Structure 1
Amino acid sequence: MKLTALLGRILLGALMALSLPPFGLWVLAPLAIGAYLKYSRDASYRRQFTNAFALWVGYFAAGLTWMTDLTVAGWLAAIPVQALIMALPMAFVPSTGLGRAVGLPAALVVGETTRWVIPFGGVPMSSLAMGPIDTYLVDVVRISGPLLLIALIGILAIACEGAISRNFKAVWISISLSIALVALAQVSPRGEIEETIVGSVVQAGGDLGTRAATSSQGDVFRRHLEAMELQDSKSDLIVWSESSVTVNAPLEESRELNAITHLASELDAVIIANFSEIDGNNFRNASVAVNPKNGIGGRYDKVHLVPFGEYIPLRGLVENFADLSLIPREALPGSGPGILDSALGPIGNVISFEVYFPERVRSGIRAGATIITNPTLASSYTNSLVPEQSLASARLRAIESDRWVLQASTTGYSAIVAPDGQVVAESRLRDQAILTEHVELRRGNTWATNLGKLPISFLAFGLLPISHLISIRRRELL
């Protein structure tokens, strides 16, 4: 492969990364993939893999730059791993014809499905699905989650390749299919309003680029209490950010919980507080619903932990060549659905990183959640890249579940998101703030929450080899 062609594909991948928040130039994703398809046709699996690998190296080199705030070495290691996962299925996309049109969307879904699982339980950040968050295309997540939206980007990429190649039949079919999917989303099942309440999210405020291990956790709790004083109206539900309270186990016996219970009673509101519960060399990341008068109604311990953030995979090996002082304790995972019993009924809860995983939100919806709460923490990062992606993920979860999402971040962005994905209230980074809006408790399921990710994942894994059979059959007929 010529060096210029290799560098061109890397650059094309980097341009594709501009489709992600905060840039939001979503059309660059199908355009870049379409251009890649036009100029990377090859019958050799090895060369197709090399071509696709170069494209995704460019994409993840740009799309994962937020990792450099944590570790440059981790960023450099993640790029080829993530590129490998996305490039492998693309190596098997036929080089021409109907098989190519079927195979490309399937390959994108296969790659993204795999990224949600490996390595270390999956790292679905910087997903292509975040790009079209402000377009009508995003409504298709109500049908089959973000994987269908990624498939739709692949369908539009086929249209772009067709336009470049002057294959207008491919353009017409791809655009027609895209319109049909968006139209289907408009008539697909949604939830229904059970009750309207007043909800608030609390942002403690503070500097970006700070770490929990080197920060005063008592100050974080104090800033949450101070932010509560900014409240100028009655709320029924108040959500605090991740790690708003740090205590020794058991948290149920802590004086901080007593203080929050007293505050909940004084305000006559349910408070969702998140505790970092220290237990020797370990800790638990736990959310609790604190009811007025009688204290804890429900507790949820974070299930999907952040690798190299809340625990170190292969710590005994890694500590030989890396400084792990910023992660002195290993988090203990919880189990079960993301749900909190409360005086307001069942409240969905996904903690921080879990908002990127549709199945964690779905677990709460299937357990009866009428609203979703997302305490999160992005203060470790020095810019808006991760806060923007977290907010985009909260908006995706709102649409696919047809629920209001209350996202509370220590330093921003905190937001209140409607079931159609619109942000009705949003904080600024670093500010101390409290946001309050009328929100709905809702019942019912969408197709996405009924079916989950398995049907579209299995379909994609099946369509990829079928695309080859289509291509072989077409060659036999010629």
Structure 2
Amino acid sequence: MLLALASGVALALAFEPVALPVLVPFAVAGFVLSTRGLSGPKGFVPGLVFGIGFYFVLIWWMRAVGTDAWIGLSSVEALFYGLLGSVAALLGRLRRWPLSIAAAWVAMEAIRSTWPFSGMPWGRLSFAVVDTPVADGLAYVGSTGVSLLLALAATLLAWLVVARGRQRAVAAVSLAAVVGMAVAPTLAPYTSTPEAHVTVAAVQGDVPGPLGNDILYDFRQVTQNHVQATIDLADDVRAGTVPKPDFVVWPENSTAVDPFADDQTLAGIRAASAAIGVPILVGAIVDAGERFVLNQGIVWNPGTGAADRYTKWHPVPYGEYIPFRRFFDGKNLGRLAIIPRDMLSGTRTAPLDIAGVPVADAICFDVGYDDGLYAQVARGAQLVTVQTSNATFIQTDQIDQQFAMSRLRAIETGRYVVVAATNGVSGIIAPDGSVLDRAGIRTQDVLVERVGLDSSITPAVRLGPWTGRACVGLTLVGLLLVLVPYRRRHHRQVTARAPRARGRSAPATPDD
């Protein structure tokens, strides 16, 4: 139990704000050793303890929403590691258990990143490696593939600990080979070759209020901040102090009311659009009837108004919509009463057309998921934008964890990434993950950078979800190899004992 708990906490420390990715293989190896030699049911307990140590520390920032939200979400995610503990204990009986358990780890990450509801991708092993030599592998095998290499290195490290004699040498050689594979891309990193360049502006308007952590505290002022920052940018362009952007990116929730239904918000967007004279990607909450809303990135062209739209793929359950709302009534909603309407999920796979540039958009937590960005990049997106409203978490480390994911996506897709946040962290990221410019927390700022456009598709995007699917398949095969022979042996033992239990001699069998 102590080993499992310490290993879980150590894995959490691999991520921001501590950011010690070297702990990843040791933490996962500790998980494997804590479940080794146990039965499937008993393996659940150390797995759960590991999950508690990991997830309760990793998303400590969820307390900004509420202590109940932090405990609830952490507990659900910890259960996945409990189930993985049972699976690891069973797969540990196989001859090639390091490979089987590594595949099971990645299968678990793939499943919990999509279920229940839209899943929770935070804490995937690959999300810790953006500033390490392993990061260059993201463009080749994707975040799932990098997680697999890290998990395999960890299981081989565990094998090295328990192996004896000749097996220890085999474990050492295997571990060295996997580490070599993980860092090999540093010798030939994927290189983005821009076909053209554009100038992009990311506007961070800031959020009013004493703490700046409530987007609804004065939502009209939030919109006005972004309008004024864009008008000021236009003044700077006319003065010749900054180059004119080809388009401007506003963050998620830069308008918290429907701009098509609210005259004041509409007037502000039109004023900003007329001043700068180029398209603005506006982050807006849009009505979808009396019961639903949409969280959208809307391309707003000067003179003609709204054009292409991207709708957030992964709204947050119990944050942006209430699952099973029909089972609640007005009396037992509690704090959930602040979510009067459910946010619908988007399905757009084609990139947005912004000033003639095909752009892949992601809204807030979307950046943690592979599906939406992979789909848009595979269909021709030459640039990635991330619109986010992290105001709720502005005093926490969530913003640093999410920004690291944006940098990871830049490497993985081979694209420049433009991040616009309401009050942090906004930034412009190169395809190698380096940060070209970054705004300060709780400041109003406008970042203007010349970025490249690339149509080439990285091997990671071509692989898509297949690495995760393969790991799920390998895990199922491994469980069958363990459980089917076990059931057969158990049946033979019961059959052999049955006559004796009735007081008669058992007949001779081939096994006897």
When normalised by structure 2's length, the TM-score is 0.84
Q: Please name the residue that 1:138 is paired with.
A: 135
List per-residue Cα deviations over 1:237-296 (Å, max 9, x = no partner).
Answer: 211111112344636x85644543453344343311111124544322111122344333
For residue 454 of structure 2, what is the amino acid of its counterpart? R
Q: Please name the residue that 1:153 is paired with.
A: 150
Deviates more, 1:26-35 or 1:108-117: 26-35
For residue 172 of structure 1, what is the amino acid of its counterpart? V
- In the alignment, structure 1 residue 233 sits paired with structure 2 residue 242: yes
Q: 1:291 aligns with which of 301, 304, 307?
A: 301
**More relative contact order in 1 or in 2 (CA 8 Å, sep 6+)?**
1
Distance 1:334 1:35, change over 3 A: closer
- Written as runs of structure 1 = structure 2, the 5 A alignment for 1:23-422 is 23-93=18-88, 94-95=91-92, 98-162=95-159, 164-165=161-162, 167-184=168-185, 187=188, 192-206=193-207, 208=211, 210-212=213-215, 214-228=216-230, 229=232, 232-234=241-243, 235-248=245-258, 250=260, 254=263, 256-257=265-266, 259-278=268-287, 279-318=289-328, 320=332, 322-337=334-349, 339-422=351-434
- 1:162 shift after superposition: 4.5
Distance 1:428 1:357, change over 3 A: same
Deviates more, 1:161-170 or 1:51-60: 161-170
- 1:459 shift after superposition: 1.5
Question: Does the 8 Å contact 2:7/2:50 carry over to 1?
Answer: yes
Whole-angstrom CA distance in 1 between matches of 2:344 and 2:479: 44
Whole-angstrom CA distance in 1 between matches of 2:470 and 2:186: 19
Distance 1:173 1:8, change over 3 A: closer
Question: Does the 8 Å contact 2:44/2:85 carry over to 1?
Answer: yes
Question: Does the 8 Å contact 2:133/2:186 carry over to 1?
Answer: no
For residue 298 of structure 2, what is the amino acid of its counterpart? V
Question: Which runs of 5 or more structure 2 residues have no equivalent in the other structure?
Answer: 487-512
CA RMSD of aligned residues (A): 2.8
Whole-angstrom CA distance in 2 between matches of 1:123 and 1:38: 26
- 1:406 shift after superposition: 0.6
- 1:469 shift after superposition: 7.7
Distance 1:76 1:209, change over 3 A: farther
Q: Please name the residue that 1:3 is paired with.
A: none
Whole-angstrom CA distance in 2 between matches of 1:466 and 1:325: 46
Q: Look up the SS of the partner of 2:293 in the other structure.
A: strand
Deviates more, 1:85-94 or 1:370-379: 85-94
- 1:7 shift after superposition: 4.1
Distance 1:353 1:103, change over 3 A: same
Q: Look up the SS of the partner of 1:92 in the other structure.
A: helix
Whole-angstrom CA distance in 2 between matches of 1:191 and 1:417: 13
- The alignment covers a number of residue pairs equal to 468
Question: Which runs of 5 or more structure 1 residues have no equivalent in the other structure?
Answer: 1-5
Whole-angstrom CA distance in 1 between matches of 2:212 and 2:59: 17
List per-residue Cα deviations over 1:290-330 (Å, max 9, x = no partner).
Answer: 23443333112223211111111122435526322332332
Whole-angstrom CA distance in 2 between matches of 1:300 and 1:468: 41
- 1:20 shift after superposition: 1.1
Whole-angstrom CA distance in 2 between matches of 1:469 and 1:186: 39
For residue 224 of structure 2, what is the amino acid of its counterpart? R
Q: Look up the SS of the partner of 1:341 in the other structure.
A: strand
Whole-angstrom CA distance in 2 between matches of 1:367 and 1:270: 22
Whole-angstrom CA distance in 2 between matches of 1:182 and 1:219: 48
> Identity of paired residues, percent?
27
Distance 1:315 1:71, change over 3 A: farther
- 1:393 shift after superposition: 1.3
Whole-angstrom CA distance in 2 between matches of 1:226 and 1:264: 11
Whole-angstrom CA distance in 1 between matches of 2:446 and 2:62: 29
Q: 1:11 aligns with which of 3, 6, 9?
A: 6
Whole-angstrom CA distance in 2 between matches of 1:459 and 1:248: 43
Whole-angstrom CA distance in 1 between matches of 2:468 and 2:376: 21
For residue 220 of structure 2, what is the amino acid of its counterpart? G
- 1:220 shift after superposition: 0.4
